[in-house]
Homo-oligomer: A and B are copies of this chain.
Amino acid sequence: MRILRLFAILDRMRVNRRPVSAETLAQALDVSVRTIYRDMATLQSMGAPVRGEGGIGYQLEKGYFLPPLHFDPDELDAIILGMQLISVRGDEQLANAAVRASAKIKAALLEGERDNFATSPLHAVSMPDEVPAASPLLSPIRLALRERMRLNITYKDLKEKSSTRIIRPLGLTVFDRVWLLTAWCESKSDFRNFRVDRIAEIIKTGDIFPRETGKEFHDFLQTL
């Protein structure tokens, strides 16, 4: 059945973030290259984020392509409200992302359903005098965390004394309004936590750290 092969193509491309040629897909799925070209045209006409480039191959546009999902009303409440919370608590980049994601989900709902959410009966707002601006370093830290890139950070402790160190960023935790960066400190060879608002500067090292038993976030959780 052709429809299964269309989904199979998307699955293989989700697995393979590198460009993949029509020839490779054709062999894997036991069809001709011409059929793959046809399937790609069909997928694109259906709106799938697939792009092909001569000399390169096919790949999914960056991001995460989720298949159809089914949520009950409570679950959708949780998603929408969660993004409301983020839009007032995260930094600008994360807040904008929450708005975008929320819009995508709402756009996918039907008009009658949308009323339950788009008119926003559920809200998260901050009291103006309580919420400090999230650190501008939050997003670059989040990015380094995702990339698993070591950071050189300048940190001020309670006495305003500065120190620098090389860390592996492992996790970010929000305690109400305080963001805490959990890291493996290379110079101390141990886990350390840093308040993001006390990090004065970060410098990306370009140095990717490997997965290493004993130095992962779940290892830190085991110490608690």
Q: Which of B69, B85, B123 contacts A108 (CB 8 A)?
A: B69
- Chain B nearest CB from A118 CB (Å) reads 10
- Chain B nearest CB from A148 CB (Å) reads 9
CA distance A74 to B64 in the complex (A): 10
Given contacts A119-B216, A120-B171, A172-B123, contact A65 B70 (CB under 8 A): yes
Please tell me how many copies of the chain the complex holds: 2
Q: Is A196 an interface residue (CB 8 A)?
A: no
CA distance A122 to B62 in the complex (A): 21
- Chain B nearest CB from A46 CB (Å) reads 7
Which of the four size classes fits the interface of chain A? 35 or more
Docked-complex contact A85 and B74, CB < 8 angstroms: no
Q: Which of B14, B78, B172 contacts A86 (CB 8 A)?
A: B78
Given contacts A3-B6, A46-B3, A116-B146, contact A79 B71 (CB under 8 A): no
Contact pattern, A 1-32, Cβ under 8 Å of B = 1, otherwise 0 = 11110110000001100000000000000000
Given contacts A65-B68, A73-B63, contact A217 B120 (CB under 8 A): yes
- Chain B nearest CB from A74 CB (Å) reads 4
CA distance A171 to B64 in the complex (A): 32
Given contacts A78-B97, A86-B81, A116-B146, contact A121 B176 (CB under 8 A): no
List chain B residues, Cβ under 8 A from A105. Answer: 66, 69
List chain B residues, Cβ under 8 A from A72. Answer: 62-64, 97, 100
Docked-complex contact B65 and A66, CB < 8 angstroms: no
